[in-house]
Structure 1
């Protein structure tokens, strides 16, 4: 390397640049590894546990390994951005006039924030490789919208392990990491895979309100509150409606009880994910009154926007039905004749309970 050049390895420089861009965790995995997770994915889809998420089945072959999606890939850079909350995610459980929104959706849309940082890091990598006299690599960036197994990749790259709740757990950041990946043709030195640190703990399994874990490390999405409130279309099966409590978008229970969160610090969270005041503890009565335009205004720039007004208000009606709050009878009754069949069904159910 010519005099005056950077004597850090490109891997070290990469980790430092990732931190500068707001990533709390960075690791490297080989794109050629044999992913044991692929067999688990096949079994999971074959058992129908993906529910209505048909893209999981349709693109399962591409999801099996990095090279199945992009044959030219040599390395995978796995990245995590913290959204560790300052407040207890379970604190609103007893506030039945309020709605509970999953921590990750109370701030800005993580897709935008993480992808912007991934693109910046990918551009840096291309420039840095050229500066070091290497052939400029090709890169592809992914965050949650492509057939990429971010959690097994992150485990292989050493930034955490896939816990019994099937989400990634970090010794430094607990269960509060948004994951992204950069696939590249550059041959980088991989890290060591992270060991499983769950031990005999089953706190996440026991905390699930709908018993969505038929076994450790296995999630039946069809029973998961996050799936039911976000991905599931039409009426939620009645057997799960009471268990929803006042959760209207996602569920943090299995994440929040993980003992490793004791090491997570809200100071490490990206400021883009700080909760918006109107979403931290919203009143159910106000949410029930939302029409489509009002919904779009309230959730502009939020991941919640993608489920639409009808599915969102449906969820709010189940929460109202679980509230035992007579003051909600009037806003609930106003929705019995809603044009959306699932909303009207939820309104009738809630009104009968109130």
Structure 2
């Protein structure tokens, strides 16, 4: 993967969630947001899959981009090694977008509560939902809508939209999806992908993967995140990895939220909506549970490396197995 051309894009947000000009040279005004996104994102006609990534806690701007490149380089490598493992993907020409936000505090290392509060402020009182909703809307306006192939679901075409979040970036993505849902006009096409397409919405988000999500374990049973499980633009289950070796989402999260995070032991509610899987090896195909909007994906034996004092295995997901999960979800969306 190269850093040039429209295959790779980076957009930046400030501490209030406003969109920044390249190099941090001031905010983009509301009137200029559409033109800025057009200039920065530039969707290619030959793209098959768009991946939007939002990083997590304690990540500098430089590291955020490097981490995103690392993850999506793995996606490309795994595809190159075994394209036949994803039979519904007829060619794979991805475009990657990294959304960067100020996720570290000067008072390291124990800044979990500070960043938690900043995330809440940027999501609930700031501009993050509006900007992410605008980014999702940009891709919807410019992409060829996915249309189903024959009955065997091979040969479907169009451009598929996937969101990937890590840690607190998971919260930002969920708020952006809810914002896009509220703003979209009614009516439009459907696909044969997952079971939750709703004809009230004119387009779909085709997969959502949350690596080590910094969300309370019961977050999807109460507002605002419970709305994700109702009719929305999300036409896919919420795939969420977890590992008990993630001490950031165990010890630190318990101190601030009075319970574990999703990324420590998985989501706990609503129980009837939860399916369970383990992270599969690259050579093992996924069979996703039917009828479950939430998927707890157990990475206990895989995500194990890291400094226990500063977060444990919170960032130990840059692995081929994670790329295989993303590609499997993209395949299942067709």
TM-score, length-normalised on structure 2? 0.25
User: Rg larger in 1 or in 2?
Assistant: 1
The structure showing larger relative contact order (alpha-carbon pairs under 8 Å, at least 6 residues apart) is 1
Whichever structure has more strand as a proportion of its residues is 2
Whichever structure has more helix as a proportion of its residues is 1
TM-score, length-normalised on structure 1? 0.24
